[in-house]
Chains A and B, each alone.
Chain A
């Protein structure tokens, strides 16, 4: 597995963490933190798409 594939796993888990944090924040009653975490999650998804396009020619192996 190349760094590209491992980075994709990392980005996926980071997205899960961001949305998980948002759920935690909303449950704790913090709307600001929750909204920020959702924004961060979306940002990470956008970055993930960007990085996949940028490293299109690099192998996953």
Chain B
């Protein structure tokens, strides 16, 4: 059985079926991410004065990841262009670059997650707060690389504080009231941060798997039906561009504000 309109444009829509399908899918994705962005805005404007974090994320990592995704969008386009002019070698090279860039993005994102996972805020019995990265812990004490502040509010706006002095902080277990890492459960910022970036990272992972398939075993189709294969590359490229566009909004919203 032959699948219709995989190459030729359908007369009523003016495009081939896979392209229509991916745009319908992307429309649903806009609604998904749009809802989460709305949640972010509402959480942020609803946060009590001085309780929304600033400067919790490293802008350098965010910038590098933005560059990586921007480059991957370019390599995706070049891979599609190479397919269109029937240069299979170039296609392989550019799509291989896309996969590498995507893996680098995920590597940096994993490092950022790990950094938040080992970052702890500890409420002490004397009313102060210890904050920093966990170095070691046992039954008697916890050692952080960080600092102690008198008011929890001092931990929120890091961008306004210049010359934050960090050092080794040893805390007796007996003096701890509450100890919690910067996971999604820490506060509304970390919750929406992990939700948005986690969902985005899953899209990157899914897109990478599809692109890897088209780069590897799926590329056999190029020999038998190059035009249909080129359309597949375009459709995967459209999804990839959408995921990159989401990051273009995520980066300033989470890292710069």
Contact = CB atoms under 8 A, between A and B. Distances in A.
Given A17-B252, A24-B256, A61 B77 contact: no
Contact of A14 (B23, B63, B70): B70
Given A3-B80, A7-B73, A54-B81, A13 B248 contact: yes
Nearest to B70: A14
Contacts of A58: 81, 84
Contacts of B66: 17
Contact of A3 (B63, B70, B241, B252): B241
A32 interface: no
A26 interface: no
A46 interface: no
Contacts of B238: 3, 6
Interface size class, chain B: 20 to 34
A20 interface: yes
By secondary structure, the B interface counts as helix
B48 interface: no
B256 A14 contact: no
Contacts of B73: 7, 10
Given A13-B248, A61-B15, A3 B77 contact: yes
Contacts of A24: 252, 256
Contact of A7 (B23, B77, B84, B252): B77
A51 B77 contact: yes
Contact of A55 (B14, B81, B234, B237): B81
Contact of A21 (B81, B241, B256): B256
B74 interface: yes
A17 B241 contact: no
Interface in A4-48: 4, 6-7, 9-10, 13-14, 17, 20-21, 24, 28, 44, 47
Contact of B248 (A3, A17, A28, A51): A17
A25 to B, nearest CB: 9
A53 B19 CA distance: 24
Interface of B: 14-15, 19, 23, 63, 66, 70, 73-74, 76-77, 80-81, 84, 159, 234, 237-238, 241-242, 244-245, 248, 251-252, 256
5 contacts: A4-B77, A7-B77, A7-B241, A10-B241, A20-B252
